[in-house]
Copies of this chain bind each other. A is one copy, B any other.
Amino acid sequence: MNRESYRQRTALDWTVGHAAEAQAEPETFVPATVPGAVQLDWAKAQGWPDYWLGQEPRRYGWMEDEYWTYRAPLDPPAVGEGQRLVLVIGGVDYEFDVLLNGEALCSQEGMFRPVELDLTGRARQGDELRIRVHPAPKREGAKLGRWQADSCCKPAVSYGWDWHPRLVPLGIWQEAYWEVRPDPHLADLEVRYELSDDLDRAELEIHWALNRRERAVLAWELHDPDGQGVLSGEQTLDGRSGSIAASLHAPRLWWPNEQGPQDLYTLHARLLDAKGQALDAASHRVGFRRVRLVMNEGAWKRSAQMPPVTRAFAPMTLEINGRAIFAKGTNWVNPEIFPGTISDKTYQPLLQLAREAHFNLLRCWGGAIVNKESFFDLCDEMGLMVWQEFPLSCNSYPDDAHYLGILDAESRSIIRRGRRHASVAIWCGGNELFNAWSGMTDQSLPLRLLNRNCYDLDPRTPFLATSPLYGVGHGDYRFRRGDDGKEVYEIFGQSRWIAYTEFGCPGPSPADYIRTFIPAEELWPPREGTSWEAHHAFKAWAPADSWLFLSTLEHYFGPSDDLETLCARGQWLQCEGYRFIYEEARRQKMHCSMALNWCYNEPWPTAANNSLVNWPAKARPAYEAVKDACRLVLASAAVTKFSWRPGESFATQLWMLNDAPTAQPGGTVRAVLELAGQRREVGQWRFDALPANTNAAGPEVRFELPADAADEAFTLHLEVSGRPECNSAYRLRMRA
């Protein structure tokens, strides 16, 4: 009884062309892929090299300011008695008009609202449909860069970022097709619920809507995660929309990755006519979970002094189904420059890697798009919670009526879509809006509007105005700071933020990967002004040698002789830096309750970046280090610095970290020094059983490094008796 058997989809045949004026006819039309982007269609027709090679993005600048017109000659499917012909346009980036034989059917600003047009009896063979896409939005007078996007709902990242070239996509980025639908049909079906305080009961509301007022019957059945029917009913529908209440006892709960199963129920519904004949069908998955953001440990105490100077920190501990958990994860960015090319096949390997890295939270940053449906479906299935930001980032979005109107409509569409997913755990206004470079405040109407819309449409999901909030840290983004020489060990070892919602540790990509997109003649040595710079190795961010940080590499290792050596050294720092930060954040649990590095993935190949996974889905060495640091249970050493000298005294505190929802047996940790192929035990700690979700701090281990050690690496191993899966290793620098 699936929906497809009641509805037939038919593709359209698109071409696309451009002109400088809205009313001007494009000189030529070239074949268009939908969903896609006008840039890709045009580049393909011209036979250009791939946009991600070398400095190719430079070719595309002029396209931003053109009007692009998609054209499709119509040959609409036949529509019988009791059927409707609907044109569905899932999303167009960014402002557009839909025209039939030159007459405007609708105009819209905003890429996150689908358009559905009932053209029954109106569209005929030989007609022509056009979708005219306006030039990329740019605020008049804004300087080149993200500021141009500060008055629209188009993600700012494509206007240029420190890991994204200037390349502003335009075009039909979601599916667009004819759909022949039964009449009447289900225009909407959604299960909303509220859990009882003890989580033992879910009060359901099955919301339905028809395309028109009609007396029909909705037959519905709720299946549990094993496919067994657990509730069902038949309801005569009166009116055009309404809801049906039902009560589910002892619902099986949805849990984040490694905290429990990702149980998902499914509602199946059929629309029946007066004779009991099925007209239409729909289904809807639902995961029952309660998400709260609660105060961090110690945060109230800190604010308990009288008189009450200032306020307490923001609540940043995720409590899922009554259990406060440590959120381990990352900042997810757009996985492609052109969102039209994204499909479930883009998401699947990236999310699978995230799940395997023991992550449970992805912050979907406000500079990028809100992802397609399959992203949320996969996150539901994989237990990856989503912190979903609206498309605001690092800008001062205005209080004006036009912008607020678009944001209102776009955000309502985004919330209505996201609230259907168990994985969507946090709504957030956008990125770094309460910092000087953005200049927004608690009074900014766009943020008050978003809070309002989230409250109206999804009140039980937490809403953050932005990140960072009071008590939360973004950064640092360097293994070693140039100004004060502090390393990640010191920076994060001394930080006491309640959540690290961004931090970075940059590194070059693997050498063989870099060879695939930097022309051979530019490969060595890396230089500014070349493809290295275009791919973010230089001048990406305030420190001029970001993200390659040659100065840092030379500080630790001296000059590198070749690309392979350079990359291996940089990746070594990235691995140990990230390993330390994730473990340190976990050692600060639950004063600290979140560690999300910047960033997970990337939209095109970078020569150097903070990412863990190269485009499109290649794990970097740092990915493996982070995966190690995020295991549910592991031995951990609070390393204090990276580079050591022969004969130096080494001291580190031992820890057992336990994020598992179950207790762990006691045991023994052996600390073993591996140097020049020799292994030596340097300490031991017998630790007691660990309660569920609780760390144990152990003793400090102290030993002397050999005075005669040569210039090389050494490794501190932590070996847990009988539990090799909990072993850890820290590879550090010996410099004679």
A residues whose Cβ falls under 8 Å from a Cβ of B = 292-295, 300-301, 303-304, 306-312, 314-315, 432, 434-437, 439, 441-443, 445, 448-449, 451-452, 454-456, 459, 462-466, 468-477, 497, 502, 542
Q: Do A308 and B455 form a contact, CB below 8 Å, given A300-B439, A436-B301, A441-B293?
A: no
Residue of B306, B314, B472 near A441 (CB, 8 A) is: B314
Determine the chain B residues whose CB is within 8 A of the CB of A455 once the complex forms: 445, 448-449, 451-452
A327 to chain B, nearest CB (A): 15
Q: Are A436 and B293 in contact (CB under 8 A)?
A: no
Asked whether B443 lies within 8 Å of A463 as measured between CB atoms, the reply is yes
In the complex, the chain B residue whose C-beta lies closest to that of A301 is B436
Q: Are A292 and B443 in contact (CB under 8 A)?
A: yes
Q: For the complex, give the distance between the alpha carbons of A315 and B399 in Å.
A: 15
| Chain B residue at smallest Cβ distance from A454 | B448
- Nearest Cβ in chain B — how far from A505, in angstroms? 12
Q: Do the beta carbons of B310 and A471 come within 8 Å of each other?
A: yes
Taking A311-B466, A314-B441, A315-B442 as known contacts, 4 extra A-B pairs with beta carbons closer than 8 A to each other, sorted by chain A number, are: A307-B473, A307-B476, A311-B470, A452-B455
**A448 touching B451 in the complex, CB below 8 Å, given contacts A468-B310, A468-B311:** yes
Q: Which residues of B contact A304 (CB under 8 A)?
A: 435-437
25 residue pairs bridging A and B, Cβ less than 8 Å apart? A301-B436, A303-B434, A303-B436, A304-B436, A304-B437, A307-B474, A307-B477, A307-B502, A308-B432, A308-B435, A308-B468, A309-B468, A309-B475, A310-B468, A310-B469, A311-B472, A312-B436, A315-B441, A442-B465, A443-B462, A445-B455, A445-B459, A448-B459, A449-B455, A451-B451
Q: Using Cβ atoms and an 8 Å threshold, which residues of chain B touch A310?
A: 468-473, 497
Among residues of B, the one whose C-beta sits closest to the C-beta of A306 is B542
Shortest beta-carbon distance from A647 to chain B in Å: 35
Q: Nearest-CB distance from A405 to chain B (Å)?
A: 13
A307 / chain B contacts, CB cutoff of 8 Å? 473-477, 502
Which B residues touch A311, using CB under 8 A? 434-435, 466, 468-470, 472
> Are A309 and B473 within 8 A (Cβ)?
yes
Count chain B CB atoms within 10 A of each CB in A301, A451, A454, A469 and give the residue with the most.
A451
Kindly list chain B residues whose C-beta atoms are within 8 Å of the C-beta of A292: 443
A472 to B474, alpha carbons, bound, how many Å?
23
Number of copies: 2
How far is B306's CA from A474's CA once the two chains are assembled, in angstroms? Answer: 9
Closest B residue by C-beta to A303: B436
Is there contact, CB below 8 Å, between B452 and A306? no
Choice from B303, B442, B473 contacting A435 with Cβ under 8 Å: B303
Closest 4 CB pairs of A and B: A307-B475, A304-B436, A311-B434, A315-B441
| Cβ–Cβ < 8 Å partners of A451 in chain B | 448, 451-452, 455
CB of A409, distance to nearest CB on chain B (Å): 16
Residues from chain B with a CB closer than 8 A to the CB of A441 are: 293-295, 312, 314-315
Q: How far, in whole Å, are A475 and B308 apart by their CA atoms in the complex?
A: 7
**How near does chain B come to A442, taking the closest CB pair, in angstroms?**
6
Q: How far is the CA of A507 from the CA of B303 in the complex (A)?
A: 28
B300 touching A436, Cβ below 8 Å: yes
> Chain B residues with Cβ under 8 A from A315's Cβ?
441-443
Contacts of A293 in B (CB 8 A): 441, 443
Known: A434-B311, A469-B311, A470-B470. A475 touches B445 (CB 8 A): no
Residue of B nearest to A471 (CB): B310
Contacts of A462 in B (CB 8 A): 443
**Which residues does chain B contribute within 8 Å of A301, judged by CB atoms?**
436
Q: Is the CB of B314 within 8 A of A442?
A: yes
What residues of chain B lie closer than 8 Å to A474, measured between beta carbons?
307-309
Q: Which of A294, A311, A441, A542 has the most B CB atoms < 10 Å from its CB? A: A311
- CB pair B448–A463 under 8 Å, yes or no, is yes
Contacts of A473 in B (CB 8 A): 307, 309-310
Tell me which of A308, A436, A452, A477 has the highest count of chain B C-beta atoms within 10 A of its own C-beta. A308
Q: Which residues of B contact A466 (CB under 8 A)?
A: 311
Across-interface contacts of A464 in B (CB, < 8 A): 442
Residues from chain B with a CB closer than 8 A to the CB of A465 are 442
In the complex, the answer to whether B312 meets A434 with C-beta atoms within 8 Å is yes
Q: Closest residue of chain B to A314, judged by CB? A: B442
Choose among B303, B308, B436, B452 the residue that contacts A452 (Cβ–Cβ < 8 A). B452
Least CB distance from A448 to B in Å reads 5
Q: Is the CB of A306 within 8 A of B443?
A: no
Q: How far is the CA of A469 from the CA of B469 in the complex (A)?
A: 12
**Would you give the shortest CB distance from A584 to chain B, in whole angstroms?**
16
Residues of chain B lying within 8 A (CB to CB) of residue A442: 314-315, 464-465, 469
Contacts of A472 in B (CB 8 A): 310-311
Docked CA distance A536–B395 (Å): 51
Of A315, A455, A464, the most chain B CB neighbours within 10 A belong to: A455
Which residue of the partner chain B has the closest CB to A543? Answer: B306
**From A301, A309, A459, residue with most partner B Cβ within 10 Å:** A309
A300 CB to nearest B CB, Å: 4
Q: Quote the shortest CB–CB distance from A582 to chain B (angstroms).
A: 17
Q: Which residues of B contact A463 (CB under 8 A)?
A: 443, 448
Distance A292 CA – B448 CA, assembled complex (angstroms): 14
What chain B residues lie within 8 Å of A468 (beta carbons)?
308-311
Which partner residue on chain B sits nearest A464 by CB separation?
A: B442
Considering the chains assembled together, what is the distance between the CA atoms of A473 and B304 in angstroms?
14
Complex interface: chain B residues within 8 A of A475 (CB):
306-309
Task: Please indicate the chain B residues that have their CB under 8 angstroms from the CB of A476 in the complex.
Answer: 307
Query: What is the CA–CA distance of A306 and B394 in the complex, to the nearest angstrom?
Result: 13
CB A455 to nearest CB in B, in angstroms, measures: 5
Question: Which B residues are in CB contact (< 8 Å) with A470?
Answer: 310-311, 470
> What is the CB-to-nearest-CB distance from A699 to chain B, in angstroms, rounded to a whole number?
32
* Cβ distance A163 to chain B, nearest Cβ, rounded Å: 16
Q: Which residues of chain B are within 8 angstroms of A477 by Cβ–Cβ distance?
A: 307
The CA of A215 and the CA of B635, in the complex, are separated in Å by 80
Bound-state CA distance A462–B434 (Å) is 16
Q: How far is the CA of A470 from the CA of B312 in the complex (A)?
A: 8
Complex: A525 Cα to B456 Cα, angstroms: 59
CB distance from A124 to the nearest CB of B (A): 40
Residues of B within 8 A of A437 (CB): 304, 308
Smallest Cβ-Cβ distance to A197: which chain B residue: B400
Residue of B nearest to A432 (CB): B308
Closest chain-B Cβ to A470's Cβ sits at a distance in Å of 5
Query: In the assembly, what is the distance between CA of A437 and CA of B542, in Å?
Result: 43
Give complex CA distance A68, B451 in Å. Answer: 41
A139, chain B: closest CB distance, angstroms = 16
User: A476 CA to B439 CA in the complex, in Å?
Assistant: 31
A279 CB to nearest chain B CB (Å)? 36
Residues on the B chain within 8 Å of A294, using CB:
441, 443
Distance (Å) between the CB of A312 and the closest chain B CB? 5
